[in-house]
Amino acid sequence: MSGKGNRKYKRLVNLVWKMISYKPWLTFFNIILWFYIFAYNIIPAVIVKEFFKKLEGSSNIDKDVIFLLAILGVAALSNMVTVYLGGLCYYVKDYLITGIIKRNMLEKLFKKHGGEALKVSTGDALNHFKDDVREITAILDYGCDFIGTAGFTIFAFIIMFNINPMVTLVVFIPTNIVVLIGKRVSKKIGKYRAQSRKETSKISGFIQEIFSSIQGIKIAGTEKNIVNKLKDLNKERHKAMLKDVTFTQIVNSIYSSTLSIGTSIVLLLCARLITNGEFSVGDFAFFIYCMEYVTDFIQRTGEYITQIKQTDVALDRLEELMGIEKVESLLNTNEIYLNRDIPEKVIDDYDENKIQTEFRNLELNGLGYKYKESENGIKDVSLKIDKGTFTVVTGRIGSGKTTLLKTLIGLLPAQSGEILWNGEKLTRTHEQMIPPKVGYIGQIPHLFSESIGENITLGQSYTEEQIKKAISSAVLEDDIKNMEDGLNTMIGSQGVKLSGGQIQRVAAARMFMKNAELLVLDDISSALDVKTENTLWERLFEKKTATCIAVSNKKVALQRADNIIVMKDGRVEGIGTFQELIEGCEEFRELALI
């Protein structure tokens, strides 16, 4: 086995063991139940065998026959109860394991720096959460079925071998054929499954992008092109899915054909043996009864080999999504709090890294971040921001303004330098530079498909006065008055019913609700008309209790700023007031004249 193959084997074994270990008694109980459900079928087989033997020996239905039928009835009732308990146990186990994997996936994503959390589209990520998680949990379900059918097959083999070794071996020869077929085609199965998953993810991601860009599509008049693109993607997905499903069905048909041929040979052999008196009717009935379940085991063997390969594909995709080497770590023990309150200890652990001190100043010393496979980013940025000041970051497109803000608040991980809050170094900025201490608005704010009010409050309770104040600070009051349902107006996916400026101001109102001590704004007024823009900046300047860092090239902001940071090629080109920079910074003078 190659190094890569050995790693995949260990990964799969570790994953299955983790799933078993998460709720060991539940998993053990589930395995026992399903083992009994499948292996139980040996009981009717033996009873049928003895029943026909009794009939061969006597034309009357004696007490022994009635006794056998009674045992069969009791066994059937016990199996019904076991099937019910097995189904219940299966769904509870599946719910818990699926839940803990998705919970840990979310936790790992939330603990990543926001700017690097998702390397795929939202639609693709949802496919990972849905289809790939389902695929990896299925390996345990297939395992339970496999163990159960294997148990029946072992019992059946022992009895059948004692009756007639030659016929028994003929029955089990197809097992080896199926295993060989499974090994030969496993690489193809993995290849086609990976491609079908990839094409499905493209469709999901593109649909998500359509919903979030409806306004732009309408303005550009490219509806027809978008539909044609979607058709092309669907054609590619159709081809990939057709190959995946067709190949899987061909393999399954080979399994079935192999089994049918084997069964036919067995029937011919049994017929000759009965004619020669070497086989009783009871023995024949036992073989015929067992054939169905033995062939089921053989077919499940092939399906299990296929499932192992498909699980490998799902594991590869999840590792890529999460950016982790050991996907089995997603089954590390954690609690899911559904019907009970979160314990105080968990809340305390969550609050441990939060900033507790009141903001006085912020220092950046040699801060740096470079994007992968690119020279873009920021280098050696050092500056200080005091409480109550208004700082504007300015520069040309690509100068590093947005990267600076994202690194400052932890959306991107600082690769060099340090950030100090009141002189104390922050070690986990993405967990520390958050509300209620820090408020942030990105270049493209994200809104939910809810009402304006819900987007502003995010489901939290605020007084009417607090909401009114936040709306006023965002210069949104006139817009809401002109809307038919006011704050209850539904805005559609990603705020599609709002203008670009309204989206920015709804996000601004949401930020103001937190009453943060430090406001970080990335080009907040880029989509506003001149009047609204001036009003917004005026109201921002009136917030004497808040400290503000804003990206902007607008003169109304630059002329009122306490400090201006000029960025060029990822470095700080100059720091000072408007007048100081006009006199001493050539880059700023050129920007001011643009």
- Over the stretch 554-593, which tens digit does the pLDDT of each residue have? 888 888 889 999 999 999 999 999 999 998 889 898 887 6
Phi, psi of 468, rounded to the nearest 5 degrees: -60, -40
pLDDT value at residue 129: 79
pLDDT of 2 above 60: no
Position 572 scores a pLDDT of: 92
Q: How confident is the model at residue 416 (pLDDT cuts 50, 70, 90)?
A: very high
Mean pLDDT of the 68-73 span: 74
Q: How confident is the model at residue 23 (pLDDT cuts 50, 70, 90)?
A: confident
Contact 523, 497 (CB under 8 A): no
Chain centroid, CA 191 distance in Å: 21
pLDDT at 44 over 70: yes
Q: What percent of the chain has pLDDT over 70?
A: 82
- The predicted model gives 520-526 an average pLDDT of 83
Cα gap 238→250, rounded to integer Å: 18
| pLDDT bucket at 410, cuts 50 / 70 / 90 | confident
Predicted confidence at residue 567, as pLDDT, reads: 92
Q: What is the pLDDT of residue 381?
A: 92
The answer to whether the CB of 335 falls within 8 A of the CB of 397 is no
Task: Please answer whether residues 199 and 237 qualify as being in contact, where contact means their C-beta atoms are separated by less than 8 angstroms.
Answer: yes
pLDDT > 90 in the chain, percent:
9
**pLDDT of residue 405 exceeding 80:** yes
**What is residue 134's predicted lDDT score, i.e. its pLDDT?**
83
Residues 6+ apart with CB under 8 A from 137: 19, 94, 97, 98, 101
Q: Is the pLDDT of residue 12 over 90?
A: no
pLDDT at 256: 65
pLDDT of residue 116: 67
Tell me the Cα Rg of the chain: 34
In this structure, the chain runs to a length of 594
Q: What is the per-residue pLDDT for 357? A: 83
Lowest mean pLDDT among 136-150, 453-467, 478-492: 136-150
**What pLDDT band is residue 36 in, cutting at 50, 70 and 90?**
confident
pLDDT score at 379: 92
DSSP reduced 3-state for 566: strand
Between 512 and 197, residue with greater pLDDT: 512
Q: Pick from 62-71, 267-276, 360-369, 444-453 the range whose average pLDDT is largest.
A: 360-369
| Alpha-carbon distances, residue 210 vs 229, 230, 271, 385, 577 (angstroms) | 11, 10, 66, 40, 43
Sort 267 into a burial class: Cβ within 10 Å, 0-12 / 13-18 / 19+.
middle
| Residue-level pLDDT at 382 | 92
Strongest mean pLDDT among 331-335, 344-348, 547-551: 547-551
Per-residue pLDDT band at 307 (split at 50, 70, 90): confident
Asked whether the predicted pLDDT for residue 190 surpasses 70, the reply is no
Average pLDDT over residues 57-63: 59
Which of 26-40, 262-276, 489-503 is predicted with the least confidence, judged by mean pLDDT? 262-276
Q: Which two tokens stand for residue 442?
A: 């990105």
With cut-offs at 50, 70 and 90, classify the pLDDT of residue 195.
confident
For β-strands 416-421 and 424-425, DSSP reports them as: antiparallel
pLDDT at 65 over 70: no
What structural domains and CATH numbers belong to the chain?
3-189+256-331 (1.20.1560.10), 361-593 (3.40.50.300)
Higher pLDDT, 523 or 593: 523
**By C-alpha distance, which of 320, 316, 302 is closest to 186?**
302
Tell me the pLDDT of the chain averaged across its residues.
79
Question: Phi, psi at residue 107, to the nearest 5°?
Answer: -60, -45
pLDDT of residue 121: 65
pLDDT tens for 207-257 read 767 766 665 666 666 777 888 888 888 888 888 888 888 877 777 676 666
Reported as a pLDDT band with limits 50, 70 and 90, residue 365 is very high
Residue 348 pLDDT > 60: no
What pLDDT band is residue 363 in, cutting at 50, 70 and 90?
A: very high
pLDDT (tens digit per residue) in 86-129: 888 888 888 888 888 888 888 777 777 776 666 666 666 777 77
Q: According to the model, what pLDDT value does residue 500 have?
A: 81
- Judge whether residue 60 has pLDDT over 60: no
Q: Which of 430, 435, 434, 414 is nearest to 364 (CA)?
A: 414
Q: Look at phi and psi of residue 277 and say left if phi exceeds 0, alpha if psi is from -120 to 50, else beta.
A: left
pLDDT in tens, 156-178: 788 878 887 877 777 677 666 66
Least confident of 58-72, 420-434, 475-489, 580-594: 58-72
State pLDDT tens for residues 322-338: 766 677 777 777 777 66
DSSP 166: H
Structure tokens at 107: 């936790």
